[in-house]
Amino acid sequence: MKPALSVLAVAAALLSACSRPQPVAEAPRPVMVHTLAPAPAPAGALYFGEVRARYESDLAFRVAGKIVERRVDVGAAVKPGQVLARLDPADAALALEAARAQRAAAQNEFVFAKAEVERYRDLVEKNFVSRSVLDAKETAFRSAAARVEQARAQAGVAEHQAAYTRLVADQAGVITTVSAEVGQVVRESVAVMKLAHDGEREVSIAVPEVRIAALRQAGPVGVRLAAEPDATLAGRVREIAPGADPATRTYAVRVTIIDPPAALRLGMTASVILPDAGSHAGTLLVPAGAVFEHRGGSAVWIMQPDGPRVRAVLRQVEVRQFREDGVLLSAGVKPGETVAVAGVHKIVAGQLLQPVSAPSGG
């Protein structure tokens, strides 16, 4: 029996070996790549900001009340004298009516006092009354005249108060903010809208303190709109805030756009390029995720074609500048080469990878 059992054991081992699954080759890991554009990136410090009007004003009612009408929305172009919103005029109308009634009463008292003075002057000339009686009448006349002026002033104030129930644009421009709706009760002097005046357009940016000195000495600067990245507009630094923001420790800077195009709109994203005299031609911009530290320097993974896939090759590079839109490299890469832009710390030299194009702007 023992030889038979041995034979069965050997047969079972052979069958189990034949039934083992064959190892499957692991598919190449995908990697996000970016092809360097042949056009060099603009050299210099780059700061992103927002297109704004040079002059902006908060619009508020000069009296308190309930809003009964709003005639404009955000983005509306307005002209001087245009009514933007109205408060309930009932209370102001009643106050105006009362002031006018007081003015009429004061006017009647003045007419009576004037007639009394003239009559008593005749009586004094005929010695029918004493001079002291005339003096009292003249005093009452002057008091009546003063009350007329007072009533006129109060009526004028009431007329102004009634007019203040309408919010009127004092400049031509565009409404950029609306913070009140119909039915809302507002207090006087509380801003309900913001008006961006027509005229000069600027880019508002925040600059670190280490760049302020260079910014003060900068001449013309370049401005690029996100909507038209291929066109560079001329600009000049108009204003640098005297103090830093306490939270970010950056300085608010206003850059005037010289000859703004017709397509320029408030709120557009724009970048300001501060020229870098030390830069040279051939500087290329790569996504920030492509550059990593290697042996005390900077490096990128160059993706060399290997059939339908790519093979990772380590390349040392020279960083010219870290910017908000990427990293400027002055050496180590050439236009047309492809670099990995994500997961660079997990790539191994010589590794075969499946390339996936990065989204536009990545």
Same domain, 190 and 247: no
Mean pLDDT across 251-255: 92
Same domain, 122 and 70: no
| Contact by Cβ (8 Å): 181, 70 | yes
- pLDDT at site 184: 93
Examine residue 8 and state whether it is found in any structural domain, yes or no. Answer: no
- CB within 8 A of 358, min separation 6: which ones? 32, 33, 34, 287, 341, 342
Range of the domain at 97: 90-163
Examine residue 110 and state whether it is found in any structural domain, yes or no. Answer: yes
- pLDDT at site 11: 54
Which of 205, 211, 206, 203 minimizes the C-alpha distance to 233?
Answer: 203
- CB within 8 A of 57, min separation 6: which ones? 170, 171, 194, 195, 197
**Final residue belonging to a domain, choices 232, 249, 274:** 274
Same domain, 290 and 311: yes
- CB within 8 A of 203, min separation 6: which ones? 49, 50, 51, 52, 223, 235, 254, 255, 257, 270, 272
Same domain, 220 and 349: no
Q: What is the CATH number of the domain that holds 76?
A: 2.40.50.100
CA distance 324 to 322: 7
- pLDDT at site 201: 93
Give the helix ranges, DSSP H, for the chain.
2-18, 90-125, 131-163, 212-217
Q: What is the CATH number of the domain that holds 154?
A: 1.10.287.470
Model confidence at 176, in pLDDT bands (50, 70, 90)?
A: very high
Same domain, 63 and 191: yes
- pLDDT at site 254: 94
How does pLDDT run across 47-61, given as a tens digit for each residue? 889 999 999 999 999
Give every strand in the sheet of 191-197, ordered side by side: 56-60, 191-197, 173-178, 77-78
| Contact by Cβ (8 Å): 189, 246 | no
Mean pLDDT across 256-279: 82
Asked if pLDDT for residue 1 goes beyond 50, the answer is no
Same domain, 324 and 289: yes
- pLDDT at site 37: 73
Higher pLDDT, 342 or 164: 164
DSSP state of 306: E
Same domain, 120 and 109: yes
Examine residue 7 and state whether it is found in any structural domain, yes or no. Answer: no
| Contact by Cβ (8 Å): 226, 248 | no
Higher pLDDT, 10 or 205: 205
Higher pLDDT, 142 or 342: 142
- pLDDT at site 51: 93
Give every strand in the sheet of 185-186, ordered side by side: 166-168, 83-87, 65-70, 185-186
Mean pLDDT across 273-278: 68
Examine residue 362 and state whether it is found in any structural domain, yes or no. Answer: no
Asked if pLDDT for residue 286 goes beyond 60, the answer is yes
Q: Tell me the residue length of the chain.
A: 362
- pLDDT at site 6: 57
| Contact by Cβ (8 Å): 286, 319 | no
Q: What is the CATH number of the domain that holds 316?
A: 2.40.420.20
Higher pLDDT, 19 or 173: 173
Examine residue 13 and state whether it is found in any structural domain, yes or no. Answer: no
Mean pLDDT across 301-313: 83
Same domain, 206 and 306: no
**Final residue belonging to a domain, choices 145, 163, 181:** 163
Examine residue 77 and state whether it is found in any structural domain, yes or no. Answer: yes
How does pLDDT run across 139-173, given as a tens digit for each residue? 998 999 999 999 999 999 999 889 999 999 999 99
Examine residue 69 and state whether it is found in any structural domain, yes or no. Answer: yes
Examine residue 179 and state whether it is found in any structural domain, yes or no. Answer: yes
Interior angle at CA 186, CA 185 and CA 191, nearest 5:
145
Asked if pLDDT for residue 358 goes beyond 80, the answer is no
Same domain, 263 and 290: no
Cα–chain center distance at 181 = 22
Mean pLDDT across 219-246: 87
Q: Which pairs from 79-84 meet CB under 8 Å and 24+ separation?
A: 79/169, 79/172, 80/169, 80/170, 80/171, 80/172, 81/168, 81/169, 82/168, 82/169, 83/166, 83/167, 83/168, 84/59, 84/167, 84/168, 84/169, 84/175, 84/193
Convert 42-108 into a string of H (helix), E (strand) and C (coil): CCCEEEEEEEEECCEEEEECCCCEEEEEECCCCCCEECCCCEEEEECCHHHHHHHHHHHHHHHHHHH
Mean pLDDT across 195-203: 93
Q: What is the CATH number of the domain that holds 223?
A: 2.40.30.170
Total domains in the fold of the chain:
4
- pLDDT at site 340: 83
CA distance 244 to 247: 9
Higher pLDDT, 215 or 276: 215
Same domain, 206 and 269: yes
Same domain, 80 and 186: yes
Same domain, 222 and 263: yes
How does pLDDT run across 106-133, given as a tens digit for each residue? 999 999 989 988 888 888 888 888 888 8
Mean pLDDT across 213-232: 83
Q: What is the mean pLDDT of the chain?
A: 83
**Final residue belonging to a domain, choices 223, 239, 274:** 274
- Tell me the β-bridge partners of 250: 208
Work out the end-to-end distance of the chain between its first and last CA atoms, rounded to an integer number of angstroms: 74
Mean pLDDT across 181-187: 93
